Chain A
């Protein structure tokens, strides 16, 4: 078994990408994802890879589009304002059925916002990072180990279904240090890409990577085919962690950094005799509706905790369909809620307000 090393989230994620066979990194500087680019700039030249500091996030995502078209594992990383600029490229990547890895180490918004951790890009990541009918596979790590493990998952799922993948992290996970373990032999099973535009060598028909379809029927057919793949992803790739949910009366739903706080709050609530539990969505798209639905057998109330003004809460309410109350608690602007604040909300729901 590989040994554990103490690493910063951003650096662990970058190393994980390298170990997954990523040799092409394109990015533009922004806080708080800086360490990813810095790490790549140190490592890539030593292993025959490409680190390229692009002129903008727009250029960087389009370089990823080119590299993914060539069939290699490529990635880009940024933070909220930079991810907005990538939206054009992400839409083209989705419309061209390309896999690609995009990292968002979120900070406060809108606009230039702030540089402290935030989860206010949930809607952007899961509903509309760019124009048109499309989805990305979105993973939300909550530990540095998951920052490592999800890189492989993001590549594998993206390549299997030919969709872009995003790891939706935040400034807290990016900057935090924890011991991590790197699985051995991560880049062994990179699949063949017969669709890649890497030169036909006069041996096959030419490949075209394209998102333009002038004929409406042709475009609708293609999008319908893509949505069949999305159905498969929704069926097969939902992931969520359940913590103390078996007998839970009040279920907290939280992802990423806010799930860490929520877990502490659930512990504290249990110590005070409140039957609280936690559902932590790991895939934000596909949203883990099966796990939430199942929990409705026992839970009587839900509390959604986010570092924004209430975004994922919409998805929880869609699943719960008004059958149980779904409350929301959040801090925004770069503020991380405290376990005590979350506990107070749980107690309020339990009717145990002091």
Chain B
């Protein structure tokens, strides 16, 4: 019988611990498929961050390093400078990347650090039980903004792709989501481009995936996807913010 669907080789045979309806799993699969297609699993080192995806070191079937909260870009820098011909990626949540690790993120990008960053923007701190993230929307109710995020007190959400697209070292800054087959395909293409950029030594690539956290949003998987479409995509428009490849017009 022909196999039409199987586990990517770049994923270990370990069940995910992610909640039902969480998009971490989809994104893991996309990254793994890309690593398979590029044939680079053996030379890849992934950097797991602190957040719900911390156990990704168990899931990706490449060498993995678990970084302190926010420091994945620095750890990846140390790896890449030591192993310039290997493929190095980080997998980070929004608290990790855009709050505690913002300095590391901005400076890895501006150095044009030749790494690929998978950024899960789910507008909340998943692992610690649903506190406000730097990407939580205005008015969004979280454990630490029980009356809704009041921007006069808690500030405004950060648009990471827009911010990083201003930096000369950034090769690709693209925001995608995985709410439909069409968007999943776009997301996979973007992730693939992010890795190809690295192989072609183009600099820092970030693929921001607008994601769900049904558990901490207090919604069912279907409701969560709808909430993402109705609320997040307006504040976080999908699209390419920077792309230095010919396709992106060598911006």
Give the Cβ gap from B106 to chain A, nearest Cβ, in Å: 8
Is A70 touching B83 in the complex (CB atoms < 8 A)? yes
Is B74 in contact with A62, judged by CB distance below 8 angstroms?
yes
**A155 part of interface (Cβ distance < 8 Å):** no
Contact for B65 among A55, A66, A89, CB less than 8 A: A66
**Which residue in A50, A62, A64, A200 is a CB contact (below 8 Å) of B104?**
A62
Q: B241 interface residue, CB < 8 Å from A?
A: no
Is A223 in the interface zone, CB < 8 Å from B?
no
**Whole-angstrom distance between the Cβ of A193 and the nearest chain B Cβ:** 11
Q: Does A302 contact B (CB under 8 A)?
A: no
Q: Using Cβ atoms and an 8 Å threshold, which residues of chain A touch B43?
A: 199, 201
A201 touches B42 (CB 8 A): yes
> What count of chain A residues pass the 8 Å CB interface test?
40
Do B81 and A24 have beta carbons less than 8 Å apart?
Answer: yes
Q: Which of B36-53 contact A (CB under 8 A)?
A: 41-45, 47-48
Considering residues B58, B74, B80, which has the most beta carbons from chain A within 10 angstroms of its beta carbon?
Answer: B74
CB distance from B76 to the nearest CB of A (A): 6
Kindly state whether residue A167 has any CB partner on chain B within 8 Å. no
In the bound complex, what is the Cα–Cα distance between A117 and B103 (angstroms)? 30
A47 on interface, CB distance cutoff 8 Å: no
**B29 sits at the interface (CB 8 A):** no
A30-38, A136-144, A203-211: which lies at the interface: A203-211
The residue in B42, B77, B87 that gathers the most chain A C-beta atoms within 10 A of its C-beta is B77
Chain B 101-137 interface 0/1 with A at a Cβ cutoff of 8 Å (1 = within):
0011011000000000000000000000000000000
Task: Please measure, in the bound complex, the distance between the C-alpha atom of A60 and the C-alpha atom of B65, giving whole angstroms.
Answer: 16
B71 and A67 contact, CB distance less than 8 A: no
B43, B47, B54, B75 pick with most chain A CB within 10 angstroms:
B75
Q: Which residues of B contact A62 (CB under 8 A)?
A: 67-68, 71, 74-75, 78, 104
- Name the interface residues of B58-73: CB closer than 8 Å to any CB of A: 58, 61-68, 71
Q: Are B82 and A54 in contact (CB under 8 A)?
A: no
Q: Is A245 positioned at the interface, with any CB of B under 8 Å from its CB?
A: no
Instruction: Digitize A44-69: 1 where CB-to-B-CB distance is under 8 Å, 0 elsewhere.
Output: 00000010101110111011111111
Instruction: Please give the residue numbers on chain B whose beta carbons come within 8 Å of chain A beta carbons, in ascending order.
Output: 12, 41-45, 47-48, 54, 57-58, 61-68, 71, 74-83, 86-87, 103-104, 106-107
**Nearest 10 Cβ contacts at the A-B interface:** A66-B78, A62-B74, A70-B82, A197-B63, A63-B78, A67-B78, A55-B107, A66-B75, A62-B71, A199-B43
Residues of A within 8 A of B (CB): 24, 26, 50, 52, 54-56, 58-60, 62-72, 74, 88-89, 92, 96, 197-203, 206-212
A-B contact pairs, 14 of them (CB 8 A): A50-B81, A58-B104, A62-B104, A65-B67, A65-B78, A66-B82, A67-B81, A71-B82, A74-B78, A197-B65, A199-B63, A199-B83, A208-B57, A210-B64
